[in-house]
Amino acid sequence: MENELMRVLKTRRSIRRFKDQPIEADKLATVLDAVRWSPSWANTQCWEIIVVTDMAQKEKLQATLAPKNPATKAMVGAPAVLVVCGKEHAAGWYDGKQATRFPDWLMFDLGIASQSIGLAAHSLGLGTVIVGLFDQAGADAVVGLPAGYQVVAMIPIGYPDNDPSAPKRREVSDFSHQNTF
């Protein structure tokens, strides 16, 4: 079934080339509001978002990526980079103990928040790409994170300068199952 939500979801692409055009403050505020309204483990809301627009900071963050990373140019070409960080030992933890077999439920909740960012941005005509392959510990230092927080992903954001085609997707019938695997 088609509706506006599905249109936004299906037409979103990972954007790695950006126009030299700033993001309006109200659009950026809306994208951050999309994080705010995301669900999270027991409403722990472990997210912290650092909006990097300073070129020297963007260059330092860019240096945490391998030069071959297809998003390297986007780290300075985009007018802003959203650094997605999480507070440790909140999501997935109870009484100071890990409550599931996964050490970092914060990864799951930051994935949720990142999808909110990508969809909200695209609904406003902005492009994003989620960058995961970089030296996260190096990025912690660049943004001055205190102990107990971790950089997980970085999301360059801005007006798209190209219109890439969609990478091939697995069919629903290939990844869905009835009652058992």
* Contact predicate 44/12, CB 8 Å: no
Residue 171 near a copy of itself by CB under 8 A:
yes
Kindly compute the dihedral angle of the four CA atoms of residues 145, 146, 149, 153, in this order, to the nearest 10 degrees. Answer: 10
- Chain centroid to Cα 132, Å, comes to 9
**Whole-number minimum distance, CB 10 to a copy of itself, in Å?**
5
* Window 5 to 64, contacts with a copy of itself (CB under 8 A): 5-6, 8-10, 12, 14, 26-27, 29-30, 32-39, 41, 43, 45, 47-54, 57
Coil, strand or helix at 35: helix
Structure tokens at 109: 């909740």
If the CB atoms of residues 18 and 50 are measured against a copy of itself, the closer one turns out to be 50
- Choose which of 17, 63, 73, 115 interacts with a copy of itself (CB under 8 A): 115
Residue 130 near a copy of itself by CB under 8 A:
yes
If the CB atoms of residues 28 and 77 are measured against a copy of itself, the closer one turns out to be 28
Residue 177 near a copy of itself by CB under 8 A:
yes
**Whole-number minimum distance, CB 20 to a copy of itself, in Å?**
19
Cα distance between residue 101 and residue 129, in whole Å: 29
- Choose which of 74, 85, 90, 126 interacts with a copy of itself (CB under 8 A): 85
Half-sphere CA count of 25, side-chain side, radius 13 A: 0
- By CB under 8 A, how many residues form the interface with a copy of itself? 84
Is 96 buried (19+), middle (13-18) or exposed (0-12) by CB count in 10 A? exposed
